[in-house]
Amino acid sequence: MKLPVSFRFMWLGQATFTLGDGFYIMASITWLYRETHSATFAAMVPFIRVGARMLSGLFAPLLMERIPLIRLLQFSHWAQAIWLAILTAVLLWAPTGMVFYPLLVILLFTSMVDGWMIPSRNAMVPRLVSDEELIRANGWLAATDQVVLLASWSLGGLIVAFGGIPCSLALTSLLYIAAALALSFVSSSVSFPTEEETKQPPRTQTTLGAGWILLWQDPRLRTITLMDIIEYLAGTVWIGAIILVFVKEILHQSEAWWGYLNASYYLGTILGGALVLFFSRVLEKRLYAAMACGSITTSLLTLVFASVPVPWLSLLLAVLMGPAYEIRDVSQRTLFQRMISKRNLPQVMAAHSTLLNATFGLSVFLIGATADAWGIRAVYFLAAGLLAISAGMGLTLIRQKNGSVQSMVGQDR
């Protein structure tokens, strides 16, 4: 079963953009560290990005209500391409001392525009594919994201080392332009609101708080969102700084093993994306079970990872976590998209994305404080416990679903 042409062009555009984004972040972090010799300034890049995305997510519903999603994505890509072209010129011709603030300002602007991209993409997918193709489409996006991220971080370092930072930024700008051009081939008839929708009078859903209200009012959406929050908190243990400390203090290995663990996890997520595609028809009928099983499996693997600090076993566990994470994530995203009407999905996705960005920013500090207070192994035990709670919430959803089905059967009788 082939996915629609419009989806394939959207997929191509997003893959191209993600590749360029990896180059951009690598170049920004490298420049800041080279010029300031400060890890704190280098760490500003992810914090500025998360904060700006959270801020832009607050008013994204207004834009999504008034601007077609495909146009919003195209504007995001073109705007970032132009700003990076300006930054490249600044790096080439301005004195080094005059680059610092323009880099941070452009990073802030590009991150704010980027904050519209993921909720717009996730809200647009159900408009591009049929309900039967939804999990397969999400699987394609998830697998591609992981492959491209791995490639961007691997190639990004080489480009910065041999071509220089301006070369990396110029290439990123070109990739953003290519992504915008790919989106121009997405059919407007499937990605835009229908004429019937556009003729409807203004609704409560057009307000900034509409997405948040819908997230809270629906018990299933509320539960899945809480699961996402818990899983984001737990997922912070896999950021680079935390893994590095675990490698040094628990595994007693060199920094090379930091790279091995990262590569193993990415390999596992790529494998997980492939499994989602291969077993999409099976998962289609068992989305709730797949979501809960993914959380349970990830919890158990994280517990073993922290309890048995054997280097080769840690690599194997990192690979195995990838499929469990991807199956859980794709299942949750698919359920989320199906529970909300296409009309309301952009507002809800924007609220959901803003909430997760805020959670990630907060969790970095919480996990760091936990590691300082009780040791690095404690954060992995904490993550395993959080994932177990998420799994329990998934099992609750399954019981509620089965209970509603039995109630309907009883009424038919």
Average pLDDT value for residue range 134-151: 87
CA distances from 272 to 318, 322, 342 (A): 12, 6, 27
Confidence class for position 202, pLDDT limits 50, 70, 90: very low
Q: Is residue 198 part of a domain?
A: no
pLDDT over threshold 60, residue 86? yes
Q: Is residue 24 part of a domain?
A: yes
Residue 35 neighbours by CB under 8 Å, 6+ apart: 96, 99, 100
Give the pLDDT confidence of 374-402 residue by residue, as tens digits.
888 999 999 999 999 999 998 988 887 76
Give the pLDDT confidence of 171-189 residue by residue, as tens digits.
999 999 999 999 988 875 5
Take residue 13 and report the two structure tokens written for it: 């555009």
pLDDT attached to residue 189: 52
Same domain, 144 and 240: no
Same domain, 78 and 220: no
Same domain, 182 and 213: no
pLDDT over threshold 90, residue 201? no
Q: Is residue 411 part of a domain?
A: no
pLDDT over threshold 50, residue 410? no
Domain count, the chain: 2
Average pLDDT value for residue range 356-372: 82
Same domain, 34 and 149: yes
Same domain, 151 and 227: no
Region of 375 on the Ramachandran plot (φ > 0 left; ψ -120 to 50 alpha; else beta): left
pLDDT attached to residue 245: 82
Euclidean distance between CA atoms 391 and 228, whole angstroms:
11
pLDDT attached to residue 119: 86
CATH code of the domain in which 30 resides: 1.20.1250.20
pLDDT attached to residue 387: 94
Give the pLDDT confidence of 8-59 residue by residue, as tens digits.
999 999 999 999 998 998 888 888 878 887 766 776 787 788 888 888 888 8
Same domain, 101 and 248: no
Average pLDDT value for residue range 97-108: 87
Take residue 220 and report the two structure tokens written for it: 């299933």
Q: Is residue 376 part of a domain?
A: yes
Q: Is residue 195 part of a domain?
A: no
Length of the chain: 413
pLDDT attached to residue 208: 66
Mean pLDDT of the chain: 83
Percent of the chain residues topping a pLDDT of 70: 90
Q: Is residue 197 part of a domain?
A: no
Give the pLDDT confidence of 246-282 residue by residue, as tens digits.
888 888 887 778 778 878 888 888 888 888 888 888 8
pLDDT over threshold 90, residue 304? yes
Average pLDDT value for residue range 111-131: 86
Q: Which domain holds residue 288?
A: 209-405
Same domain, 161 and 114: yes
Same domain, 230 and 348: yes
CA distances from 239 to 67, 134, 235, 366 (A): 35, 29, 8, 13
Confidence class for position 413, pLDDT limits 50, 70, 90: very low
Same domain, 131 and 270: no
Confidence class for position 209, pLDDT limits 50, 70, 90: confident
pLDDT attached to residue 173: 94
Q: Is residue 347 part of a domain?
A: yes
For the chain, helix, strand, coil in percent to 5 are 90, 0, 10
pLDDT over threshold 50, residue 199? no
Euclidean distance between CA atoms 327 and 342, whole angstroms:
23
pLDDT attached to residue 261: 85
Same domain, 183 and 216: no
Region of 254 on the Ramachandran plot (φ > 0 left; ψ -120 to 50 alpha; else beta): beta
- What does the DSSP assignment read for 92-117? HHS-GGGTHHHHHHHHHHHHHHHTTH
Same domain, 273 and 316: yes
Confidence class for position 98, pLDDT limits 50, 70, 90: confident
Same domain, 142 and 236: no
Of the residues 125, 157, 188, the one at which a domain ends: 188
Q: Is residue 287 part of a domain?
A: yes
pLDDT attached to residue 116: 83
